Amino acid sequence: MRKELENTYIKNPDGGLTVTARSRAGEIVKFDVDPETLKHPLPDGRVCELIPVIPNIVLLFPTEDLRGKVDPEKIMTFAARLTQSRMRIANLLETIDEKKIKQILEQTIMPNKHYSVIEKFSFLYGIEGVSRAFSHQFVRHRLMSPEQQSQREVDPLNPRYPDPWFEFVVPPSMRHDKDMFVRYVEVVKESLAAYQVARKSGADPEDARMFLQNAAATRLLVAMNARVLFEFLEKRTCSLAQWEIDIVATKMFEITYPWIPSVLKFAGPSCVRGPCTEGKRYCGLPLKPLHHYIGLESMPHDFPFDPKDQWQKTALEKKTKGREFKVPKTTWWQGPEEPQVIDLAEVAGAEVEEESEEDFS
């Protein structure tokens, strides 16, 4: 689980940019970028503004004005009760109250993984400020229903736009060093220049877009039911998830939690409910369910394993049986350059057991 710094990019009055980033050592770094660095002149005299962006997610349905009128958890509870009741539908609905909702969802449905009933309500999200690299991962979750902004239909340098702009994403590992950031922007300019030449020579947008980078920003509209969301969070809030999709997943969780708290209080990586499913790639950072971290600026991935943390210690003892392993450097700000080696037998006081490679495959 990761969070973006809210003030990552602040536009200055002179047109320049103040960049705030977290360094590899965990320190907050700030620097200013010259206005000219973010401008790309076009042959027709226009100037294309280059805009670095960060993920932004909006819950489009249900909206706050529907609070009290639409109750996702009541619908889910009704679906569960319907399977075991002889009552007519109208009468059955009247029997469902807050106490019944919490009892059924929190004590039966979610602990026993009867997830079919939570499929009965869907959410609609608007996602922007993300890269094409992100979207290629995102659409692998095939049970959701996405729509994406087309690079074929949306030409960033279209002559009809008097003030063209081009949005792009800068990875955190290239954001905390000014020289690296400026060089990154120059490469974005080079790709735009090549795109521009291709279009001028007569290439169709669908062909010219091959010059654009994976860093090019895109927008998506996606509908997913609560079960798909729950399983998406399990995979994409894991410490091994790519940083961008992890941030999106964390934000989706935060804006959806108020609507289905009895469901999402169980959400998080596989390690919050049992053994890690990543096998040999186990990160060594067992987490609590996601709702423990709502509103916190610092997330668990910001810190290395703490052997004094009783929760982590107990989880490691149960999940790894004293096996020694290396914590991979899974995020750009996590820990030192060398992998952190933890002897779990020493940490947890457990005896090391002989285990075959298949046990962790």
The residues assigned a catalytic role are 236
Q: Cβ(279)–Cβ(361) under 8 Å?
A: yes
Q: Cβ(129)–Cβ(55) under 8 Å?
A: yes
Q: Cβ(126)–Cβ(57) under 8 Å?
A: yes
Taking CA atoms, 361 is separated from 133, 332, 355, in Å, by: 28, 25, 11
User: Please, what is the Cα angle at 33 between 27 and 35, to 5 degrees?
Assistant: 160
Q: Is 147 exposed, middle or buried (0-12, 13-18, 19+ CB in 10 A)?
A: exposed
Name beta bridge partners: 340: 327
Non-local (6+) Cβ contacts of 328 within 8 A are: 240, 281, 283, 339
Question: Which pairing describes strands 47-52 and 165-168: parallel, antiparallel, or unpaired?
Answer: parallel
Q: Cβ(301)–Cβ(2) under 8 Å?
A: yes
Torsional class of 284: left (φ above 0), alpha (ψ -120 to 50), beta (otherwise): left
Which one, of 223, 219, 253, lies nearest residue 236 by Cα? Answer: 253
Non-local (6+) Cβ contacts of 203 within 8 A are: none
